Amino acid sequence: MKNIQIIEGADNATFSIFQATDAEFEAIFPDCRDIELAEDLFARLGEIRARAVAEPMWDRPILKRDALGIHGTLFYGWLDKRKYLPSSKREVDFEHSSINAAQRRLFKSSK
């Protein structure tokens, strides 16, 4: 199972973590991505397939303290903030001015 943190645009968002099977994770985050916008997921897979992939996760929440890592981040309602995310949708590709020196070193060694 892979852990996905859900980040919503709502003021009362909980930033909860849910578990996805390897197949669900791969459908949500193809090509070694670890960031996805829900709107892009639905556009890419279509409404029916995207729901079939994403909805089972909602029955598999996990407490943050019990999660052994976060493997991906799925953003809901963030279309207006897309410009701040790397176009590759990979954490290691954030613009250097957006991250600190330690992150730059880590990301450079993790590509």
Mean pLDDT confidence for 84-110: 93
- pLDDT of residue 23 exceeding 80, the answer is yes
DSSP bridge pairs for 7: 75
Nearest to 92 by CA among 32, 24, 39, 15: 32
pLDDT at 111: 72
Edge-to-edge strand list for the sheet holding 2-8: 35-37, 72-76, 2-8, 17-20, 61-62
pLDDT at 110: 85
Q: What does the pLDDT look like over 49-70, one tens digit per residue?
A: 999 999 999 999 999 999 999 9
Q: What does the pLDDT look like over 35-50, one tens digit per residue?
A: 999 999 999 999 999 9
